[in-house]
């Protein structure tokens, strides 16, 4: 058994982790991140557990307090931008949603929760700290991927500063409703491919060039669209030339 102590910051500094084996895959690190997210601000004072609704001083749940809580949530405006009606698999939509509310286990977020990493630098460019915003919008590797996707879809120049801008790309393009529906899925597929490339480099020591990542986006989006969309699909050659045409 491998035993390892995870160095963590003040809030959970007394935790001792006993690993059978260290988290070593994207899924395991993601699960650890979610766990730490839940316990990060937990202040345990001993005693017996009981349920308490924090939004009311009485500790009792009420619909009106839940509404007030949602209205005051700074993440809520971002969440409202999420469009779930997309032809990509649920795992892709969930990953995009988690990115939108900054809940992906990027190196910067792991570091903030006290996880000691060899390096905080982005695996894709190796120059900047890996934050959610950097990974999808600021990284020059990702920028090349977006540039190629932009050319493939014949988009107007993109002005992207954060993940919310990516989710709203379709609103800045003069396309039909159906073309926007196709484009939304391609944006989601591109974010998924960037995240997978990042994970492959960290956990599998596999590296691809940006042009290869874009080829994988064309391939996965073709099959997802073909099997999951109600719209008719172009054939492979036509779709590779211009994906926003619909038959």
Find the shortest distance in angstroms from Cβ 25 to Zn ion: 21
The distance of closest approach from Cβ of residue 26 to Zn ion in the complex, given in angstroms and rounded to an integer, is 17
Choose, by CB under 5 A, the member of 8, 86, 139, 193 that binds Zn ion. 139
How far apart are the two ends of the chain, measured CA to CA in Å?
58
**Any bridge partners for residue 129, and if so which?**
121
**Sign of the Cα pseudo-torsion (107, 108, 114, 119, in order):** positive
Scanning 5-13, 131-139, 178-186, 196-204 for contacts with Zn ion by CB under 5 A, the matching segment is 131-139
Q: How far is the CB of 107 from Zn ion (least distance, A)?
A: 11
Write the interaction track for Zn ion spanning residues 55-84; mark x where CB under 5 A is met and - where it is not: ------------------------------
124 binds Zn ion (CB under 5 A): yes
CA distance 28 to 105: 11
Which of 156, 126, 157, 158 is closest to 141 using CA atoms? 126
The one segment of 15-23, 132-140, 145-153, 160-168 that binds Zn ion by CB under 5 A: 132-140
CA quadruple 19, 42, 105, 95: dihedral positive or negative?
A: positive
Is residue 86 involved in binding Zn ion (CB under 5 A)?
no
Q: Is 122 in the site for Zn ion (CB under 5 A)?
A: yes
The token duo for 43 is 């202040």
Closer to Zn ion at the Cβ: 88 or 122?
Answer: 122
- Choose between 143 and 240: whose C-beta lies nearer to Zn ion: 143
- Is the Cβ of residue 62 or residue 127 nearer to Zn ion in the bound state? 127
Residue 232: φ, ψ to 5°:
-70, 150
Q: 224, exposed or middle or buried, with CB in 10 Å at 0-12, 13-18, 19+?
A: buried
Contacts with Zn ion by CB under 5 A lie at 122, 124-125, 139
């Amino acid at each position: 058994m491998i035993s390892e102590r995870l160095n963590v910051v003040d809030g959970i500094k007394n935790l001792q982790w006993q690993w059978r084996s260290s988290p070593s895959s994207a899924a395991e690190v993601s699960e650890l991140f979610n766990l730490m997210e839940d316990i990060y601000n937990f202040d345990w004072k001993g005693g017996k557990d009981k349920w308490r609704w924090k939004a009311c001083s009485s500790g009792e749940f009420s619909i009106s307090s839940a509404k007030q809580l949602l209205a005051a949530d700074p993440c809520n405006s971002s969440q409202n931008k999420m469009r779930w009606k997309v032809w990509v698999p649920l795992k892709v939509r969930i990953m995009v949603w988690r990115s939108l509310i900054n809940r992906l286990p990027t190196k910067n977020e792991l570091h903030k929760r006290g996880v000691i990493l060899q390096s905080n630098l982005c695996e894709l460019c190796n120059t900047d700290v890996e934050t959610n915003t950097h990974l999808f919008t600021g990284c020059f590797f990702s920028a090349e991927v977006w540039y190629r996707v932009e050319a493939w879809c014949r988009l107007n120049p993109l002005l992207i500063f954060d993940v919310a801008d990516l989710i709203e790309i379709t609103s800045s393009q003069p396309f039909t409703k159906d073309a926007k529906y196709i484009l939304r899925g391609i944006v989601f597929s591109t974010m998924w491919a960037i995240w997978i490339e990042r994970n492959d480099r960290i956990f599998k020591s596999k590296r691809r060039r940006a042009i290869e990542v874009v080829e994988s986006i064309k391939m996965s989006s073709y099959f997802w669209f073909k099997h999951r969309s109600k719209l008719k699909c172009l054939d492979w050659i036509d779709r590779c030339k211009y994906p926003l045409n619909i038959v």
